């Protein structure tokens, strides 16, 4: 929370409302007291009380302006300043009250001659002002305490908002970093494959791979790393990638994609499937001479989206293959950064042979 000047502290509107509330309570309480005690000239007293209330509001506002200057000081300094400054301002309101009720036409309020005689005695004015100032000090000190509480709450809220902004910035930086890891890793593998085709003088296939690579990057690099994409777009990107790999393995690679129409507009992090499909090619296809099918499937269960990438290769990855790759770790970290505990990654060998990786994430639909 910031005030209208952009500085941390209690905004002027909040301070004004608190001042008006305090003095309205004062006016009502004193009016009820005068009514219960049966004072004469109630109408005249009410009018003068209204004048004193307006003066009190102005004086308290000036006190607020003074306390604002201490907003950046330590809490102990602000407490001392609040309860110290309340004293002269209480004395000022007491003096204004004495003038309105005892100096300006007192006869209309106190026609009793005995009171007039008593009021003319030496020291009466000082004694009345000091006694009234003491009671008003506690009134202003109470408002000053409220101001300190509001100021502390404002500062705590400002620190909390700043921490939230830093946390969001850190999360966004992490997401960008994880997202940008994918493209260089994929490009490195693809260029190796392209180099192999060129060395084997497979020019037509190399040209087809270059065209497919161009289509892939033209599509993938247009998206914001922090924005999700529809599952339909993500699967389309993987089709482009599989077209590239199909040039390398024309007789060994086949694909199967089964996505229900109702899930095509579900949102997923961009290129979240890329490392999984890469791993399926690396461990499921390139290690065997038999035909391998890579399947991408999706289903909805209990409000969660379940996506699987499987292959039926006969040489699935082992613990020794973990190495320093970024595939599964990248996907897991991106899911955690984006969805927290709701994002989950499961993987392991399939009972019938091959390898399976499953993603679980909340369903967020794109309208």
| 4: in domain | no
Domain limit, last residue, from 148, 178, 208: 178
CATH number at residue 301: 3.30.565.10
Domain limit, last residue, from 160, 178, 196: 178
| 228: in domain | yes
CA distance 343 to 358: 11
- Co-location of 108 and 171 in the same domain: yes
Domain that includes residue 307, residue range: 184-365
Instruction: State residue 332's pLDDT score.
Output: 87
With contact defined as beta carbons under 8 Å apart, do 300 and 208 qualify? no
DSSP strand pairing (304-311 vs 355-362): antiparallel
Instruction: State residue 5's pLDDT score.
Output: 41
Instruction: State residue 266's pLDDT score.
Output: 94
Q: Which two tokens stand for residue 342?
A: 């709701």
Give how far Cα 51 sits from Cα of 37, 94, 100, 171, 321, Å.
21, 13, 8, 57, 86
Instruction: State residue 168's pLDDT score.
Output: 66
- Co-location of 169 and 301 in the same domain: no
Instruction: State residue 258's pLDDT score.
Output: 95
- Co-location of 68 and 196 in the same domain: no
Question: How many structural domains does the chain have?
Answer: 2
Scored b (16 or more CB within 10 A) or e, 119-146 reads eeeeeebeebbeebbeebbebbbebbeb
Q: Count of residues for the chain?
A: 367
- Co-location of 199 and 171 in the same domain: no
- Co-location of 218 and 249 in the same domain: yes
- Co-location of 58 and 93 in the same domain: yes
- Co-location of 158 and 210 in the same domain: no
- Co-location of 165 and 223 in the same domain: no
Domain limit, last residue, from 157, 178, 199: 178
Beta bridge partners of 134: none
| 1: in domain | no
| 58: in domain | yes
Q: Which two tokens stand for residue 291?
A: 């035909």
| 322: in domain | yes
- Co-location of 288 and 210 in the same domain: yes
Can you list the residues of the chain whose pLDDT is less than 50?
1-6, 113-114, 118-119, 324-325
- Co-location of 212 and 306 in the same domain: yes
Beta bridge partners of 253: 292
pLDDT tens-digit readout, 45-71: 778 888 888 999 999 999 999 988 888
- Co-location of 359 and 217 in the same domain: yes
Q: Quick check: pTM over 0.85?
A: no
- Co-location of 207 and 137 in the same domain: no
| 2: in domain | no
| 6: in domain | no
| 30: in domain | yes
């Amino acid at each position: 929370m910031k005030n209208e000047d952009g500085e941390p502290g209690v905004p002027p509107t909040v301070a004004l409302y608190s001042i008006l509330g305090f003095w309205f309570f004062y006016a009502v309480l004193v009016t009820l007291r005068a009514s219960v005690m049966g004072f004469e000239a109630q109408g005249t007293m009410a009018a003068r009380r209204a004048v004193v209330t307006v003066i009190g509001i102005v004086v308290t506002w000036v006190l607020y302006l003074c306390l604002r200057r201490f907003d950046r000081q330590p809490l102990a300094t602000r407490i001392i300043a609040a309860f110290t400054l309340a004293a002269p301002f209480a004395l000022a309101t007491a003096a204004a009250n004495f003038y309105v009720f005892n100096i300006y036409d007192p006869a209309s309020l106190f026609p009793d001659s005995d009171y007039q005689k008593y009021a003319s005695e030496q020291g009466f004015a000082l004694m009345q002002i000091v006694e009234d100032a003491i009671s008003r000090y506690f009134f202003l000190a109470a408002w000053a305490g409220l101001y300190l509480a509001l100021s502390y709450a404002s500062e705590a809220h400002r620190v909390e908002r700043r921490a939230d902004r830093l946390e969001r910035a850190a999360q966004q930086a992490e997401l960008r970093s994880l997202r940008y890891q994918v493209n260089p890793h994929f490009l490195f593998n693809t260029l190796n494959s392209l180099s192999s085709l060129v060395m084997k003088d497979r020019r037509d296939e190399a040209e087809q791979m270059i065209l497919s690579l161009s289509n892939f990057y033209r599509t993938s690099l247009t998206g914001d790393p922090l924005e999700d994409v529809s599952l339909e777009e993500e699967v389309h990107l993987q089709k482009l990638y599989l077209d590239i790999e199909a040039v390398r393995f024309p007789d060994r690679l086949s694909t199967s994609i089964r996505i229900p129409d109702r899930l095509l507009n579900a949102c997923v992090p961009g290129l979240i499937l890329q490392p999984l499909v890469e791993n399926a090619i690396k461990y499921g296809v390139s290690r065997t001479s038999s035909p391998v099918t890579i399947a991408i499937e999706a289903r909805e269960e209990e409000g969660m989206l379940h996506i699987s990438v499987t292959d039926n290769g006969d040489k699935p990855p082992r613990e020794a293959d973990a190495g320093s790759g970024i595939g599964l770790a990248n996907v897991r970290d991106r899911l955690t950064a984006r969805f927290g505990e709701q994002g989950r990654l499961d993987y392991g060998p399939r009972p019938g042979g091959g390898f399976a990786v499953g993603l679980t994430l909340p369903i967020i639909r794109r309208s």
